[in-house]
Amino acid sequence: MAQTLENTATGTAAGLLDGRRFAGVILEKGQTSGDADTLVFADGRFSSTACEEYGYGGAPYTATREGDAIRFSCETRSSRYGSLEWNGQVRGDKLDATVIRRDEGKPPQEYWAVAGQD
């Protein structure tokens, strides 16, 4: 994996999670089952294979190192279903994230993504 240049003032780095893939599940908050998902970080972009079928493409992500965790955020968009706001962390080989779906004229929906390094 290529090294990235870290900004020591903010603890952020371009492409901090690049080259990592996580296989798991995305599910609506309060549910016990959901859709299989692979979360991919590559070339400064993030994508979700489960969300691609709904028209959500990849998007640039930001990442910050905080102790033994890396926090990340991203917003992916679909012309049909609105936006997904991803906020999560990677600790070791585990990824946990909350995902807020915002679609015009509808209340926000909250999802969870839980995955292990693929």
The CATH number of domain 11-117 is 1.10.1200? no
* Lowest mean pLDDT, pick from 4-8, 15-19, 32-36, 107-111: 4-8
Find tokens 């929906």 and name the residue: 109
Chain segment 42-96, per-residue pLDDT in tens: 999 999 999 999 999 999 999 999 999 999 999 999 999 999 999 999 999 999 9
Cα dihedral across residues 43, 46, 49, 51: positive or negative: negative
pLDDT at 3: 33
28-31 long-range contacts (CB < 8 A, ≥24 apart) are 28/109, 28/110, 28/111, 29/109, 29/110, 29/111, 29/112
8's torsion region: left (phi>0), alpha (psi -120 to 50) or beta? alpha
Which of these, 90, 112, 84, lies nearest to 21 by C-alpha position?
A: 90
Q: What is the pTM of this model?
A: 0.86
